[in-house]
Structure 1
């Protein structure tokens, strides 16, 4: 997956978790929690949905890498690239 595909997928996950949020002016560099009304359970839902969709493990120590869209895309790009090659 390229960066734009990953971004679109994360947006899709966010739309499902927070359907009342307006994601159209999401600032990719800002923390999700600063911009959206996400609690810790919502954040775990994001992690679990990524795990379900791609059969990847995200260690709890790496959760900080999923704080913003930019950091999430940067973190997931090499992981999802490897997953695609394995298919």
Structure 2
């Protein structure tokens, strides 16, 4: 049975990392960083958007900036069906 992460990759999801800079609620001049990572769809990033919406609704630290890195771990060109198996020796 395939893992849920593998199934997501087969649906086009790729590993997404977001470096989130936010201001501390008690000290707004100080920036803190938070790293978020999950499988998401490029270019609209619905999972990241859900997380950032939750952040702005529920957490006190206002967002300052978000930097995103995204990688397709499995590309369609890397997957192919094999009809047979050959053994040498």
TM-score (norm 1): 0.28
Q: Indicate the structure with greater strand content.
A: 2
Q: Which has the larger radius of gyration?
A: 2
Higher relative contact order (CA 8 A, sep 6+): 1
TM-score (norm 2): 0.28
